[in-house]
Amino acid sequence: MLRIFLCIILLYSQLNVFAQTVRVCKTCELKTLQAGIAQAKSGDTLHIEKGIYKEHEVIVDKPLTIIGKDYPVIDGEMIGEIIRVISDSVTIDGLFIKNVGTSYTSDFAAIRIKRSKHFLIQNLKLETLFFGIYLEKSDDGIIQNNYIKGNAKVEYQSGNGIHLWHCKNVQVLNNKIYNVRDGIYFEFVNNSLVQGNVSINNLRYGLHFMFSNNDIYKDNYFEDNGAGVAVMFSKFIKIENNTFKKNKGAASYGLLLKEINDATISNNIFQENTIGTYLEGCNRITYANNNLIQNGWALKMMGACFENKFIHNNFIGNTFDVSYSGGNTTDNRFDYNYWSEYAGYDLNKDGTGDVPFRPVKLFSFITTKVPESIILIRSSFVDLVNFSEKVSPVFTPEHVSDSFPSMNKF
Amino acid sequence: MFKIFRYSLSDLLRSSWSYFYFSFYLLLGFGLLFFNPDVSKSVITLMNIIVVFSSLIAVVFGIMYYYNSREFIELLLAQPIKRSDIFIGQYLAVSVSLSLSLLLGVGIPFVIYGVADADLVKNFLVLMTAGIFLNFIFVAVAYNIALYHENRIKGFSYAILFWLFMTLIYDGLFLISLMMFKEYPLEKASLAATLFNPIDLSRILILLRLDISALMGYTGAVFKNFFGTTLGLTIALFSLLIWVILPVLNIYRKGNKKDF
């Protein structure tokens, strides 16, 4: 037993001895990243000194730690892919990668990680890119503190900032992503964490994920993205403490949920979006403690939403608080929310209003049927109609009401 | 005409009604800005009040002033003065005095609370332009009604009815027809329909300035694309101008022919 143990220690120390540092710079023996990788052995550290390296199709095929000093520039000259990782345990740190080529058939990326595990991609700066960081069937890695700035003009000619396809246990932390097509894109990604990212001004989605289960999205910030954030066909996800702001436009949503089951959406801020949260075919969602402030529609529920719970949310100054249409059953519950439009009273001073609040206005019902009627918004006639409907509801769904509306903001 | 205008205006400016109206707006402006630090929100509330209230006051005050100054008009008619000068001069005096009350009443609190933001100044200007247009339009309509009806009760009820039609009934009919024809593309039709109602037109001009339109989805974007452009704005202002010019021309025409 002892012998085996000693053997392991000995082997380990041997490995350490062999792990060397390889320097790459313009005046060194090794002048390119490619040459450096060819020279290095498994487990070595590659130091890239400051300079401009015009390279593309660099393939990292052994476990290496590649560290850039003072952000050396890897310039792809708009030809093709820049770095491709096909080995486990690769770290890439501190590079400035730019000018990724554009291709409509092979999705060129600044960094592509293919069928690898235990990678660490951090502190990168990516500019003028097609795809940024592209993960393909790779698991157990971390992507953090990267700065990605694209120049996307049209959707079909641009790629995504951080793109994950068929991955598990990946952490995407504290990245900043601007002006790409989709800031963060997940497809078939399970058990992963997306935290502290900032995704602004992207052409399509700030965050987009599909078929990705058991993921956690926390403390992210999404602003002014073409279509906001869209999440689809996923189960058991948690969306917490995120900010969705100023996603304005004809087809823009703070958060679009389609076919999402058993999710928790809590403590998020939805502010000044055309539609704060849009739900379609969503079941058993717990939607709690969110702030919905000054949206066009705070919540828009389309058909086939069952057993969702909306509790302890603040609805403040939205043009329409809830719009509700189609075959939803009566088991979606709105309770204990704060509604700035609530005009009821609280005689027993227990903090909840004594008359139920009915968040679906007649006018929001009308605009869902006839979108053009929006031109009459804030006219006296519409106010009158809303008021009479509030007094004696005829058209709006009777069961959509908050029986215990809070008198105070949470 | 200018002399009549000056006399009527100084008469109006001495009347307690003008001061009452002015102080109402002053209080409203201060109150809104005091209780609501978000100026753009105050602009929305002000819009609701100005669009509905100032048009009501204009139409009621216009018709009241005409009926009250009937003896004065008859006296003037005995003098060698052009008939149209009398009516147009009085009409201008009423409109200008109401507009002054509005402009100063809302303007002073805004200036004191410091609207330094260039965007807000623009919003404020649009708000005031719409308010002043509404004053001129509704006083003109009131004068028309008064010129056609000797009977004060009838005149008053028609004036109120006109206001009610523009604020409520028109929108109701508008909404019903939108719902009836919902299978058709209605964007252009609804844009056209707003041009025929000065109250709707001012409401939309102000709303679109206030960036709410971006929150209104696809249709909102269509409306913004129309009214946001110079062409759209010109058309809107032009149709407001038509709303002033047509009734004024009719005052001119009717004033020249009317028997006393």
- ipTM of the complex, rounded to two decimals: 0.83
Q: Please provide the average confidence, as pLDDT, over all residues in chain A.
A: 89
Strands A205-210 and A184-190: parallel
Q: Which of A252-256, B75-79, B113-117 has the lowest mean pLDDT?
A: B113-117
Q: Is B176 on the interface with A (CB under 8 A)?
A: no
Residues composing chain A: 410
Contact A381 B171 (CB under 8 A): yes
Task: List residues of A whose CB lies inside 8 A of any B CB.
Answer: 248-251, 272-275, 294-297, 317, 319, 366, 369-382, 384-385
CB contact residues (below 8 A), chain B span 198-217, against chain A: 199-200, 203-204, 207, 212, 214-217
Q: Is B218 on the interface with A (CB under 8 A)?
A: yes
A227 chain-B contacts, CB cut-off 8 A: none
Interval A69-73 mean pLDDT: 93
Q: Please provide the average confidence, as pLDDT, over all residues in chain B.
A: 86
Helix (H, G, I), strand (E, B) or coil at B19: helix
Contact B217 A382 (CB under 8 A): no
pLDDT of amino acid B197: 92
List helix spans (H) across A81-178.
Answer: none
CA distance A75 to B236: 53
Interval A151-169 mean pLDDT: 90
Q: Is B151 on the interface with A (CB under 8 A)?
A: no
Contact A296 B219 (CB under 8 A): no
CA distance A43 to A21: 9
pLDDT of amino acid A10: 52
pLDDT of amino acid B177: 92
Contact A380 B171 (CB under 8 A): yes
From A295, A296, A381, residue closest to B168, measured CB to CB? A381
pLDDT of amino acid B189: 86
Contact B215 A274 (CB under 8 A): yes
Q: Which of A4-8, A326-330, B179-183 has the lowest mean pLDDT?
A: A4-8
**Above 80 in pLDDT, residue A387?**
yes
HSE-CB at A358 with a 13 A cutoff on CA atoms is 20
Tokens, residue A119:
């990678």
Residue A127 phi, psi (nearest 5): -135, 160
Contact B223 A295 (CB under 8 A): no
Q: How confident is the model at residue B43 (pLDDT cuts 50, 70, 90)?
A: confident
pLDDT > 90: what percent of chain B? 39
Give the largest Cα separation in chain B, rounded: 62
**Above 90 in pLDDT, residue B231?**
no
Contact B179 A370 (CB under 8 A): yes
From A372, A377, A384, residue closest to B178, measured CB to CB? A372
Interval A372-399 mean pLDDT: 84
From A249, A294, A375, residue closest to B223, measured CB to CB? A375
Q: How far is A201 from chain B (nearest CA, A)?
A: 16
User: Which one has a higher pLDDT value, A392 or A225?
Assistant: A225
Contact A372 B214 (CB under 8 A): no
pLDDT of amino acid B205: 83
Q: How far is A258 from chain B (nearest CA, A)?
A: 19
pLDDT of amino acid B120: 75
**Above 90 in pLDDT, residue B258?**
no
Chains A, B: CB pairs < 8 Å: 94
A323 chain-B contacts, CB cut-off 8 A: none
pLDDT > 70: what percent of chain B? 93
Q: CA gyration radius for chain B?
A: 19
Tokens, residue B159:
């004036």
Residue A344 phi, psi (nearest 5): -80, -170
pLDDT of amino acid A4: 64
Contact A381 B172 (CB under 8 A): yes
Report which residue type is found at B77. Answer: L
Give the residue on A whose Cα is nearest the Cα of B53.
Answer: A380
pLDDT > 90: what percent of chain A? 61
Residue in B81, B70, B205 with CA at minimum distance from that of residue B131: B205
Strands A184-190 and A162-168: parallel
Report which residue type is found at B210. Answer: L
A273 chain-B contacts, CB cut-off 8 A: 215
Q: Is B37 on the interface with A (CB under 8 A)?
A: no
* Cα A67 versus chain centre, distance: 27
Residue carrying the six token digits 């007649």: A362
Interval A238-247 mean pLDDT: 94
Q: Is B167 on the interface with A (CB under 8 A)?
A: yes
B220 chain-A contacts, CB cut-off 8 A: 250, 296, 374
CA distance A212 to A259: 12
CB atoms within 10 A of CB B221: 19
User: Which one has a higher pLDDT value, B105 or A9?
Assistant: B105
Q: Is B153 on the interface with A (CB under 8 A)?
A: no
Tokens, residue A255:
């958060």
Helix (H, G, I), strand (E, B) or coil at B158: helix
A379 chain-B contacts, CB cut-off 8 A: 167, 171, 199-200, 203
3-class secondary structure per residue, B38-89: CHHHHHHHHHHHHHHHHHHHHHHHHHHHHHHCHHHHHHHHCCCCCHHHHHHH
**Above 70 in pLDDT, residue A68?**
yes
For helices B230-257 and B118-148, angle between their N-to-C axes, nearest 10 degrees: 30
CA distance A276 to A322: 10
A371 chain-B contacts, CB cut-off 8 A: 217-219
Please give the C-alpha separations between residue A241 and each of A194, A206, A318, B54, B74, in angstroms, as whole numbers. 12, 16, 20, 45, 74
Report which residue type is found at A110. Answer: A
Q: How confident is the model at residue A18 (pLDDT cuts 50, 70, 90)?
A: low
pLDDT of amino acid A393: 81
Tokens, residue A37:
């990788």
A267-306 as b/e: b if 16+ CB within 10 A: bbbbbbbbbbbbbbbbbebebbbbbbbbbbbbbbbbeebb
Q: Is B168 on the interface with A (CB under 8 A)?
A: yes
Q: Which of A26-30, A349-353, B205-209 has the largest mean confidence?
A: A349-353
Give the largest Cα separation in chain A, rounded: 90
CA distance B90 to B180: 44
CB atoms within 10 A of CB A362: 18
pLDDT of amino acid B249: 94
pLDDT of amino acid A373: 85
Q: Which of A372, A373, A378, A386 to mutate to test the interface with B (most CBs of B within 10 A)?
A: A372
Contact B217 A384 (CB under 8 A): no
pLDDT of amino acid A378: 82
**Above 90 in pLDDT, residue A221?**
yes
Helix (H, G, I), strand (E, B) or coil at B168: helix
Give the residue on A whose Cα is nearest the Cα of B183.
Answer: A370
Contact B217 A274 (CB under 8 A): yes
Q: Is B165 on the interface with A (CB under 8 A)?
A: no
**What residues contact residue B9 under an 8 Å CB cut-off, 6+ apart?**
B93, B96, B97
User: Which one has a higher pLDDT value, B48 or A13?
Assistant: B48
A131-167 as b/e: b if 16+ CB within 10 A: bbbbbbebbbbbbbbbbbbbebeeeeebbbbbbbeeb
A129-154 residue pLDDT tens: 899 999 999 999 999 999 999 988 88
Q: How far is B58 from chain A (nearest CA, A)?
A: 18
Contact indicator for A140, A162 with CB cutoff of 8 Å = no
Tokens, residue A116:
């690898």
Q: Is B26 on the interface with A (CB under 8 A)?
A: no
First to last CA, chain B: 20
CB atoms within 10 A of CB B170: 19
Tokens, residue B152:
């004060």
A302-337 residue pLDDT tens: 888 889 999 999 999 888 899 887 666 678 899 999
Residue A287 phi, psi (nearest 5): -115, 100
Give the residue on B whose Cα is nearest the Cα of A296.
Answer: B215
Interval B69-97 mean pLDDT: 89
Cross-strand pairs, A210 = A187, A232
B172 chain-A contacts, CB cut-off 8 A: 381
CA distance A308 to B6: 68
Contact B168 A296 (CB under 8 A): no
Q: Which of A209-218, A302-311, B229-238 has the lowest mean pLDDT?
A: B229-238
Tokens, residue B251:
């005052």
Residue in A217, A219, A218, A225 with CA at minimum distance from that of residue A199: A225
Residue B151 phi, psi (nearest 5): -70, 115
Residues composing chain B: 260
HSE-CB at A148 with a 13 A cutoff on CA atoms is 39
